[in-house]
Amino acid sequence: MLALDRLLHADAHLADWSRFARLSEDTELLRNSAEAVDPFALLPVADDPFFQRAAAERYARQYHRLYPEEPIEAQSDSSKIRIGYFSCDFFNHATMVLIGQLFELHDRERFTVVLYDYGHGHDDAQFQRAKQTADEYRNVAAMSDREIAMLARDDRIDVAVDLKGYTQGGRSGIFAVRAAPVQVSFLGFPGTVGMPAMDYILADPVVIPEELRSAYSEKTLNMPHCYQINDSSRVRPAAAPLRAAAGLPDDAFVFCSFNNSYKISPREFDIWMRLLKQVPGSVLWCFAGQKEAEANLRLEAEKRGVSAARIIFARRVPGPAHMDRHQLADLFLDTFAVNAHTTASDALFAGVPVVTKLGRQFAARVAGSILTAAGLPELVTRSEEEYEALALRLARNPEELSGFRQRLVSGLADSPLFDNEKYARHLETGLEAAVRRHRQGLPADHIQIAG
């Protein structure tokens, strides 16, 4: 079953939809199997948080059986809480693009920040920023999961924050052993890790509404606005380059989707192709990291009666140049089972409206949370029909679309999405509540942080 799961994920990366007609059959095989499947590879396969929980719990049982949770006592009783952040992405990576400023904003009168870095050899500006901002930095790449957990205990960490989960390079065994009395899953993996030792998942009322809490093995540590933090200190995009430099027609309406190709399915693509047919001269500007995916998407366009020439691919460029070119797009179209995450925030930061559809699992609700926090809930739809109708209306009504752009330009900096001082205080309030519960001998429970 693990092989089938990863085959479906590999096909998604290549935009190879030859098995899509039997996706429901494949999904049932995965759902009913007693074998573990890769929780991350499963995300684009089925927008079902209860299925995701069952799969994550199977995975955790199988792969953490060699790392049984070890008892732990409260690490300190001082007023200053020691937070340990664990990741291999403390460098120029999407994680640091989002979280880098948080390390700087933590209240050092109440918190000590320790970074546990199990990455390898990324010595760039973002790495130096993280290392210099932390109160303590630990390079633990050569250590085993258990050794890292025991080091965190020796360091008297009160809260261990897993920034990877089941994403590539993650080391969830650290948390299965238990590195700290309170453990929180945050930012990297958009779903439950299904691990008894993981106490909380950082969330918000949009990504995990109350009626879906039981689909997560963790208790929710609910931020009042968006769970996702953004680095508001980033340099604003400079003047947009010429469209010709990006291979875009000067006079076309540009639909954009910079999501990785594995997030795109025939469901979205069918809609996108109908939009191209209904908006004369429009193009779809995509990011596809592999030539096979580009070829397959062009082929799929032709199958739907759309010229492959109207699918234009954005090549990988340095971060600042990527932010600058966003401004060439008119409207960002989101994907369904796995939304835009950092890519949605990037688009909004550059002034490009995003249309999304709210799904059921965490990964399918992230853009809805981001847009709500940005003050643009009108761009969050509830069905494929509503999504398509809204995108078409905006493409045909430049004044309405311009109104959303103006709201982004004038209001985004003051929105909760980029108010990181408040974000840091809210997060700290939640962590203090979680630590207080543990010190009082109480089990983890849902915590709603007041706005």
pLDDT of 359 over the 70 cut: yes
Other C-beta atoms lying within 10 Å of the C-beta of residue 303: 12
Residue 183 identity (one-letter amino acid): Q
Collapsing DSSP states into helix, strand and coil, what is residue 266? helix
Q: Where would I find the beta strands (DSSP E) of 363-421?
A: 380-381
Task: List the chain domain ranges.
Answer: 2-50, 81-232+420-448, 243-416
Residue 141 identity (one-letter amino acid): A
Alpha carbon 275 to chain centroid, angstroms: 27
> Do residues 262 and 9 touch, judged by C-beta distance below 8 A?
yes
pLDDT of 451 over the 90 cut: no
pLDDT of 67 over the 80 cut: no
Residue 76 confidence (pLDDT): 63
Q: Is 139 exposed, middle or buried (0-12, 13-18, 19+ CB in 10 A)?
A: middle
Of all residues in the chain, the percent with pLDDT exceeding 70 is 98
Q: Which of 49, 313, 309 is nearest to 203 (CA)?
A: 49
Can you tell me the mean pLDDT for 282-287? 96
> Do residues 166 and 189 touch, judged by C-beta distance below 8 A?
yes
pLDDT digits (tens, 9 = 90+) for 181-240: 999 999 999 999 999 999 999 999 999 999 999 999 999 999 999 999 998 887 778 888
Number of residues that this document lists for the chain: 451
pLDDT of 75 over the 70 cut: no
Can you tell me the mean pLDDT for 282-307? 95
Collapsing DSSP states into helix, strand and coil, what is residue 307? coil
Shared fold status for 81-232+420-448 and 243-416: yes
Q: For the chain, what is the mean pLDDT? A: 94
> Do residues 306 and 279 touch, judged by C-beta distance below 8 A?
no
Tokens of 403: 């109104």
Q: Which of 140, 87, 136 is nearest to 111 (CA)?
A: 136
Q: Which of 141, 146, 207 is nearest to 370 (CA)?
A: 207
Residue 211 identity (one-letter amino acid): E
Residue 68 confidence (pLDDT): 74
Which of these CATH numbers, 3.40.50.261, 3.30.1280.10, 3.40.30.10, 3.40.50.2000, describes 243-416? Answer: 3.40.50.2000
Can you tell me the mean pLDDT for 436-447? 95
Instruction: Kindly report which listed range (38-42, 92-96, 329-333) carries the lowest average pLDDT score.
Output: 92-96
**21 band by pLDDT with thresholds 50, 70 and 90:** confident
Is the domain covering 81-232+420-448 a CATH 3.40.50.720 domain? Answer: no
Instruction: Kindly report which listed range (68-77, 168-177, 265-274, 344-353) carries the lowest average pLDDT score.
Output: 68-77
Q: In what order do the strands lie in the sheet with 182-185?
A: 136-139, 111-117, 81-87, 159-162, 182-185, 200-203, 219-222, 447-448
Can you tell me the mean pLDDT for 127-131? 94
